[in-house]
Amino acid sequence: MVAFITSSFGLLGLETYTGEDMGMKTAPTLALIVGILIAILMVSAIRYGDAFVAPLMGFVAISLIVVPYAGSGAMIILAVIYFAFALAGLAVKLPKMMVLLLIIVGLLYLVVGVGGLADGDIFFLLQGILGLSAGTLALYLSMALSTQKLPVR
């Protein structure tokens, strides 16, 4: 789900940057739906008693649910919280790829927040690059963790 939604936001940024219609205007609505689904999955993380993943999933769910309604300041605050989770992930020995994903998503939120305050097409291009990078990394992580055949460090 994370790969899907981050890639959607990446394509939305590229769509805005190039001016071509890629059909991604529904990305904020998709974020709301995916956020609700992640919140439902968070219940299973709580059941298993994971003290780091459950709050992280809760934050990811909340950050996705508020995306359609968040202004630039809120996006910057969400980015800072993603960076804090990345630091906490290092402290609890989360795989480095997962920490990298948190950093990339934090940068995505930061670029969207700053892009809302400043004019410039470069922010849409950066949104596209960061969104597609996060989507690719999230897809790799999901495949690596589900098959346990790919390396995750």
| CATH number of the domain that residue 36 is part of | 1.25.40
Average pLDDT rounded to a whole number, residues 17-30: 73
Would you say the C-alpha torsion 83, 145, 141, 2 has a positive or negative sign?
negative
Distance CA 86, CA 88 (A): 5
* pLDDT (0 to 100) of residue 78: 94
Residue 13 CB contacts under 8 Å (≥ 6 apart), including other chains = 123, 124, 125, 126, 127, 128, 129, 130, 131
More confident residue, 109 or 1: 109
Whether 64 and 31 have beta carbons less than 8 Å apart is answered as: yes
Burial category of 93 from C-beta neighbours within 10 Å (exposed 0-12, middle 13-18, buried 19 and up): exposed
Domains held by the chain: number: 1
Quote the pTM value. Answer: 0.84
Whether 2 and 60 have beta carbons less than 8 Å apart is answered as: yes
Domain holding 36, by residue range, is 2-147
pLDDT tops 80 at residue 28: no
In Å, how far are 26, 49, 67, 108, 151 from 33, measured between CA atoms?
A: 11, 25, 11, 19, 30
* pLDDT (0 to 100) of residue 23: 66
Task: Say if 6 falls within a structural domain.
Answer: yes
Task: Say if 152 falls within a structural domain.
Answer: no
Q: What is the mean pLDDT of the chain?
A: 85
Task: Say if 35 falls within a structural domain.
Answer: yes
Tokens for 106?
């934090």
Q: How many CA atoms lie within 13 A of 113 on its CB side?
A: 18
Task: Say if 99 falls within a structural domain.
Answer: yes
Task: Say if 153 falls within a structural domain.
Answer: no
Task: Say if 113 falls within a structural domain.
Answer: yes
Distance CA 31, CA 134 (A): 15
Task: Say if 54 falls within a structural domain.
Answer: yes
- What percentage of the chain reaches a pLDDT higher than 90? 27
* pLDDT (0 to 100) of residue 104: 95
Task: Say if 143 falls within a structural domain.
Answer: yes
